[in-house]
Amino acid sequence: MREAAAAALLVVGAITMLLAALGVTRMPDLLTRMQTTAKASTLGVGCAALAAAVYFGELSVTVRAIAVIGFVFLTTPVAAHAIARAGYFAGICLDPRTAPDELGAGVIGRDAPGAREPDEPPASDGGAPPP
């Protein structure tokens, strides 16, 4: 029974990781690729680690598998967000089919009124030396 449950979890994990890999090739721009990859690969790794915990059935393996799942669930979305944010501020082109740019001109550094270049020092306030 444990072997069948572990095999089913491995198959589900492998399919979701395959879908993540397919999403990298099929999605039109960086933001949708990051979303696809982060969500599907997180679920795939979680299922694979859970399959190992179910198959071995030992406390030490289960604790390690849960620790791996927790680590992946905490770090993968944060890393994907950081990479997507860096790409957005670097000026990546969004696909026209991607949802409207909700940040748009309201974000400093992305064509906003009063935006400055990253190397440009901030405006001083009347002669006071910058900190």
Could you tell me the mean pLDDT of each successive run of 10 residues in the chain, 131 residues long?
94 93 88 88 93 94 95 93 86 76 60 47 53 54
113 lies in some domain: no
87 lies in some domain: yes
Contact 16, 39 (CB under 8 A): no
Tokens 């030396």 sit at which residue? 129
17 lies in some domain: yes
Q: Which domain holds residue 54?
A: 2-94
Residue 80 is inside which H or E element, if any?
Answer: helix 59-90
- Residue 4 token pair: 């069948």
**For residue 41, what is the domain's CATH number?**
1.10.287
Contact 72, 46 (CB under 8 A): yes
pLDDT at residue number 90: 84
